[in-house]
RNA sequence: CGGGGCGUGGCUCAGCCUGGUAGAGCGCCGCGUUCGGGACGCGGAGGUCGGUGGUUCAAGUCCACUCGCCCCGACCA
């Protein structure tokens, strides 16, 4: 039974997504600021959980955090030709202050390669200064044409890593380290989102990059969402910003740089991968609250004994389970059950007079909504049971998402199959086409090459478009 | 930016065609009864009708402009 206020996915997937955002109280429209949202406390708490999981991994791989200015002199942005061209349409400028025209306008950063490049050129003198491994948590502004809460907003929050290396190999190793050990590990193990990792085509790569690697996830409507990118910038930015160093032989060398980022879009991915028609579903490792306790009583005497039991049981949870007790007196238990399901709390524990008498509790798991996911278990050993259950929910969410992706991925040998596949999910196929061919597929089928996956076949086959023999397979999909 | 739809109490919407001074349900506040899957009764508060300008004796209603949101498309994390 779908919740009041939530459009079923099958009826209108876009509307379902917006309903979840509103009903789970994640965000509010900042209708006075075009394309912007307010991250409400529940939505921001999810971002904080994402931040802490990523920050841990970013630091574990040797990076440190810093912060660079929001405003970038316009002249700096213009230094890398391909980069300018890529971002020009979506850059906002500050041209006047107090009514007076500025001698040189500033742009609000759409990303920080340019201003960071300027400072890196100042800071780096010797091979001993390398590698330089810095990350920043920041907001950026891109004036996109069409916005959607979390998935694409005018201003968004993200982290952007910017590193400098002495050799091309080092830069490439860094780019892949981030892709696998930071993003891939975090997405799959913390967010329970299975990803396809691979290389972007020339058409899809970051403006100014040598090559771009990305992680692509499948949403429940079969569309792809780029969850993160890691760019090997080669020497393009180093040349434009004069990032050079003296090597061991005292020869001046141009450095190699990388950049990589994930954004608050991940919250959108989280919603679209796991949630259902009952509301939000949060993986336990990301959920700001993992267990909610709903006490049940109908008079003061029952309240006293129930709350005593709640206090005794939850005392053991501190430091092991993130939980809260819903002590609101004005709402019925049934209302609370529905509300916490809507908000995606992984486990609900109900404790009433019968449980006090029988030394049991009712435990409901969110990944199986309604009464179906509810069982009565003894109070003895409850803490361990809940911890195991959280791990089980985490695992089953990942397994379910992976199964969905596999069931919606099809191998295409011709254009008709390719079209049919991208209407359902991902199309995997041999590809030897040009950039123009890729554009044609996009025009005809609304699908783009999301990735050239790392796992490639041992044997060649005919290109889905040209028929030419090739060993390269790609993933086509409609994308967010 | 192009095509379509929509802005009226916190939310969902009616009223607009055919101008006459604003309504419903839910929510909210108070009191009481309730409480194991979205409780009920009684009483109450709450709206310069997205904004600006115009037409008119009179505008939520008609006209123009503008801002924002949603859907589809092109651009993108």
User: Is A4 a member of any domain?
Assistant: no
Residue A343 C-beta-side C-alpha neighbours within 13 Å: 24
Write out the two tokens for A362: 């009712």
Write out the two tokens for A311: 């206090």
Q: Please say which residue of A360, A389, A418 terminates a domain.
A: A389
CATH of the domain at A447: 3.30.110.30
User: Is A34 a member of any domain?
Assistant: yes
Q: Show Cβ contacts of residue A402 under 8 Å, excluding neighbours closer than 6 positions.
A: A194
Q: Which residues 5-64 of A interface with strand B at a CB distance below 7 A?
A: 5, 14-15, 17-18, 29, 31-32, 34-36
Question: Strand B closer than 7 Å to the CB of A389?
Answer: no
**Cβ A117 vs Cβ A237: under 8 Å:** yes
Domain limits at A187? 13-274
Taken in order A85, A111, A446, A35, is the CA torsion positive or negative? negative
Closest Cα to residue A133, out of A121, A142, A144, A120? A120
Q: What length is written for chain A? A: 480
Which residue gives the smallest C-alpha to C1' distance to B76? A144
Q: Which residues 189-228 of A interface with strand B at a CB distance below 7 A?
A: 206, 226
Structural domains in chain A (count): 3
What is the phi/psi pair of residue A336, to 5°? -65, -40
**Cβ A19 vs Cβ A5: under 8 Å:** yes
**Cβ A149 vs Cβ A31: under 8 Å:** no
Q: Which nucleotides of B are covered by protein (CB under 7 A)?
A: 1-2, 29, 34-39, 67-77
Ordered per-residue pLDDT tens for chain A, 480 residues: 456 678 888 888 888 898 888 888 898 877 677 888 888 899 999 999 999 999 999 999 999 999 999 999 999 988 988 888 888 888 888 888 887 888 989 999 999 999 999 999 999 999 999 999 999 999 999 988 888 899 999 899 999 999 999 999 999 999 999 999 999 999 999 999 999 999 999 999 998 999 999 999 999 999 999 999 999 999 999 999 999 999 999 999 999 999 999 999 999 999 999 999 999 999 999 999 999 999 999 999 999 999 999 999 999 999 999 999 999 988 999 999 999 999 999 999 999 999 999 999 999 999 998 788 899 999 999 999 999 999 999 999 999 999 999 999 999 999 999 999 999 999 999 999 999 899 889 888 989 999 999 999 999 999 999 999 999 999 999 999
User: Is A163 a member of any domain?
Assistant: yes
User: Is A400 a member of any domain?
Assistant: no
Which residue gives the smallest C-alpha to C1' distance to B2? A145
**Cβ A365 vs Cβ A393: under 8 Å:** yes
What is the phi/psi pair of residue A126, to 5°? -130, 160
Closest Cα to residue A307, out of A327, A286, A323? A327
How far is it, in rounded angstroms, from Cα A87 to Cα A85? 6
User: Based on the domain organization, do A113 and A243 belong to the same domain?
Assistant: yes
Which residue gives the smallest C-alpha to C1' distance to B67? A32
Write out the two tokens for A274: 């796991």
**Cβ A154 vs Cβ A33: under 8 Å:** yes
Write out the two tokens for A252: 């001046």
Nearest nt to the CA of A370 via C1' is B37
Distances in Å between the Cα of A112 and the Cα atoms of A68, A164, A237, A320 are 8, 14, 11, 39
Write out the two tokens for A366: 């969110």
CATH of the domain at A302: 3.40.50.800
A262 CA to B74 C1', in Å? 25
A334 CA to B38 C1', in Å? 6
A28 CA to B47 C1', in Å? 21
What ipTM score was computed for the predicted complex, to two decimals?
A: 0.87
User: Based on the domain organization, do A298 and A219 belong to the same domain?
Assistant: no
Q: Please say which residue of A389, A421, A436 terminates a domain.
A: A389
Nearest nt to the CA of A30 via C1' is B68
A21 CA to B9 C1', in Å? 23
Question: Strand B closer than 7 Å to the CB of A327?
Answer: no
Nearest nt to the CA of A23 via C1' is B11
């Amino acid at each position: 039974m779908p919740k009041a206020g939530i459009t079923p996915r099958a009826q209108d997937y876009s509307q379902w997504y917006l309903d979840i955002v509103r009903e789970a109280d994640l965000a509010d429209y900042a209708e006075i600021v075009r394309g912007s949202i307010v991250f409400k406390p529940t939505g921001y708490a999810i971002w904080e959980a994402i931040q802490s999981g990523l920050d841990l991994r970013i630091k574990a791989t040797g990076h440190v955090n810093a912060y660079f200015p929001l405003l970038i002199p316009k002249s700096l942005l213009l230094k890398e030709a391909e980069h300018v061209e890529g971002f020009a349409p979506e850059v906002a400028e500050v041209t006047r202050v107090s009514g007076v025209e500025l001698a040189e306008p500033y742009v609000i950063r759409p990303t920080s390669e340019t201003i960071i490049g300027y400072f890196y050129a100042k800071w780096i003198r010797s091979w001993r200064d390398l590698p330089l491994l810095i990350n920043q948590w920041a907001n950026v502004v891109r004036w996109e044409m069409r916005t959607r809460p979390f998935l694409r907003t005018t201003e968004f929050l993200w982290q952007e890593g910017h590193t400098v290396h002495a050799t091309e190999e080092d830069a490439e190793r860094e780019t892949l380290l981030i892709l696998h050990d930071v993003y891939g590990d975090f997405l799959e193990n913390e967010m329970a989102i299975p990803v396809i990792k691979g290389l972007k085509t020339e058409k899809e790569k970051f403006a100014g990059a040598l090559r771009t690697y990305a992680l692509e996830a499948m949403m429940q409507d079969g569309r792809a969402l780029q969850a993160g990118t890691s760019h090997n910038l080669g020497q393009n930015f180093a040349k434009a910003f004069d990032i050079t160093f003296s090597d061991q032989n005292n020869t001046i060398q141009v450095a190699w740089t990388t950049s990589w980022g994930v954004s608050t879009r991940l919250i959108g991915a989280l919603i679209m991968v796991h949630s259902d028609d009952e509301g939000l579903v949060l993986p336990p490792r990301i959920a700001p609250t993992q267990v909610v306790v709903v006490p049940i009583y109908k008079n003061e005497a029952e309240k006293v004994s129930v709350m005593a039991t709640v206090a005794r049981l939850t005392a053991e949870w501190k430091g092991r389970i993130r939980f809260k007790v819903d002590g609101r007196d004005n709402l019925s238990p049934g209302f609370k059950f529905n509300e916490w399901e809507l908000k995606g709390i992984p486990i609900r524990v109900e404790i009433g007079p019968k449980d006090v008498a029988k030394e049991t509790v009712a435990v409901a798991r969110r990944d199986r909504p309604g009464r179906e996911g509810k069982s009565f278990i003894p109070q003895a050993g409850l803490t361990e049971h809940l911890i195991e259950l959280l791990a089980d929910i985490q695992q089953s969410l990942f397994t379910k998402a992976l199964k969905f992706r596999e069931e919606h991925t099809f191998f295409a040998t011709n254009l008709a199959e390719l079209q049919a596949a991208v209407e359902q999910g991902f199309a995997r196929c041999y590809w030897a086409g040009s950039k123009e061919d890729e554009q044609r597929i996009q025009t005809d089928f609304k699908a783009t090459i999301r990735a050239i996956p790392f796992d490639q076949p041992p044997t060649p086959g005919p290109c889905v478009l040209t028929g030419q023999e090739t060993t390269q397979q790609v993933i086509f999909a409609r994308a967010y």
